Structure 1
Amino acid sequence: MASTSVVVVAVVVVVLVVVAAAAEAVVVVVAAAEAVVVVVVVVVVVVVVVVVVVVVVVVVVIVVVVVVAVVVVVVVIVSVVQVVAALVVVKNDDDDDDDDNDDDDDMP
């Protein structure tokens, strides 16, 4: 009987050692999985931040291009209006001079 008890105790000890080793392996696997999850979360956060920064830069560039285009159009329109106004003034001055000269010629 004593030998049976020793065998049972030995089997129980072996089972406990195997269970402890398996539990330790599970802990190692869980720790590795946690590390992988942390790395994945960090990578996702970095990618999201980079995408947001790129989108903001693109929007700022588009706004700057639109503002510059509007300023250029306004400057061109103002320049054309000034040139036309100057031509009208010159034409009116020429007409007035011609009229004045004609009037002077008609005078005795």
Structure 2
Amino acid sequence: MTTTLTIVARIEAIPDQVELVKSELEKLIAPTRKEAGCLQYDLHQDNNDPAVFLFYENWENRTLWQAHMESDHLKAYLKATEGAVAGFTLNEMAQI
């Protein structure tokens, strides 16, 4: 039996790069939601610190999420935001 994989990804932009990072993160939403196995892909921005973004994702399984991690649109995001991200944390989680 496969277990749904929840991903919580925290992205912190360099303060003068917030709008660039936000714009590039927003570009990921539509194509990712169309990917096989994507059940939920929601982007959030911190109310008190606009440089902090969080993706809350649910995937059918880890294999399909890993395919997402190799997608062209994610590679384009990484290239476009190179040097603009101060921190990135990713947690692979399971609901209990």
* Length-normalised TM-score, structure 1: 0.18
**Larger helix proportion, structure 1 or 2?**
1
